[in-house]
Amino acid sequence: MPPTQQSAAEPADPTAAGPRPGTTAAPAVRRTDCPWCGSTRLRTLVLDRCDDCAHAFRNPRPAPDDRPSPPAADAPQPAAARDRRHRAAARALLPFGEPESWLDVGTGAARFPVTARTVHPYTAFDGLDTGPEVEQARADGRIDEGHRGTLTDLAPRLTARYDVLSMFRHLEHAPDPRAELRAAHQVLRPGGHLVVEATEPRSLAAAMLGRWWAPYHRPRLLQLIPETALCRELRALGFTVVLIDRRAAHRSAGPGAAATLALARLLAHASAAHSPVARLARTALSRAAGPPLALARALDRALSPLTSRTRCANAYRLIARRDTTPG
């Protein structure tokens, strides 16, 4: 099957460092097997997808500096909607007792810990991220401790320190998700809980919308791990999956988002033409499409509570307990 347009490339080894200044990067090499299960039965939409395990991955992988800016279909959520999602995620841990310590991986500006503290007021919330925002969040008092770096690098000095570790949409941007899960196991205390939210590439919406499915176009996306594959990996590492919730993790990203992406692609092609007629056509198309697209996105949001109850749910929230004894 012919491949679709690919993002800018990087070396095939996801852990390899980029070229030194003044040197030329080696040409990217497309891999021919699934990085999750090893199968060679691949097909390409926007990402390559393994027909055996449904793992979806960018191939070849974009270099960090070449990863795209957020497209219109993946615009940031309104603060109220984001806070509702964060409170729901924090409440999902209530049946498992009040945690003493919680590490939020990929915390950014620590918006989740701030909201989660309203649900768990006696929990110490720490954050981990690679950017400077985590240090600012610590200075501003939004988290108790801030760890700057990667979980895999910092895990040895955080061993068995936390009761809860959360990863919200983190694994799909991680160069080595298995290494992240091993590090999470190391950082959690026996009996502690791992909370993961991730996009479900086996969603029926992905099959129906194909390359225009909005989650395929998220910025800095490296892979999408199916829920069943993640559960198998967690069990192999010594976790017991205690909760799976597709409804709460679902995000509005249906036909309206797909139409927005398609229009953006069409306008980008029109922008390549510099004739006055092309410019007029582009302006007219953009103005004419505005109201229908706004209506389509509104329908996406209105239907989202129903969609989340069906096979079109596009994400899952998973809670897994670290086993107290091996096996």
What confidence category does residue 76 fall into, taking pLDDT thresholds of 50, 70 and 90? low
Binned at pLDDT 50, 70 and 90, residue 244 comes out as: very high
Kindly state the percentage of the chain with pLDDT values over 70: 68
SS3 197: strand
| DSSP 8-class letter at 216 | G
More confident residue, 284 or 221: 221
Q: Which CATH architecture has domain 74-250+313-322?
A: 3-Layer(aba) Sandwich (3.40)
Assign 242 to helix, strand or coil: strand
What is the rounded average pLDDT of the residues 194-214? 84
Report the share of the chain in percent with pLDDT over 90. Answer: 45
Query: Average pLDDT for residues 242-271, to the nearest whole number?
Result: 70
Q: Which helix (H) or strand (E) holds 50?
A: strand 48-50
Confidence tier at 147 by pLDDT (50, 70, 90): very high
| Arithmetic mean of pLDDT, 141-166 | 98
| Per-residue pLDDT, 71 | 37
Residue 302 is predicted with a pLDDT of 63
pLDDT averaged over the chain?
80
Mean pLDDT for 269-281 is 64
Query: Residue 93 class from Cβ within 10 Å (0-12 exposed, 13-18 middle, 19+ buried)?
Result: buried
Secondary structure of residue 156 in the 3-state scheme: helix
Q: What is the pLDDT of residue 12?
A: 34
Using CA atoms of 163, 169, 174, 176 in order, give the dihedral in degrees to the nearest 10.
70
User: What's the pLDDT tens digit per position in 1-39?
Assistant: 333 333 333 333 333 333 333 333 444 677 888 988 888
**Confidence class of residue 48 from pLDDT cuts 50, 70 and 90?**
confident
pLDDT tens, residue by residue, 78-136: 788 889 899 999 999 999 999 999 999 999 999 999 999 999 999 999 999 999 999 99
pLDDT reading at 272 higher than 70: no
Domain ranges of the chain: 74-250+313-322, 255-307
pLDDT for position 206? 77
Q: So what's the pLDDT on residue 299? A: 65
Residue 181, pLDDT > 70, answer yes
Instruction: Give the residue with greater pLDDT, 4 vs 202.
Output: 202
CA–CA–CA angle 11, 12, 16 (5° rounding): 60
pLDDT at 10: 33
Give the pLDDT band (50/70/90) at residue 261: low
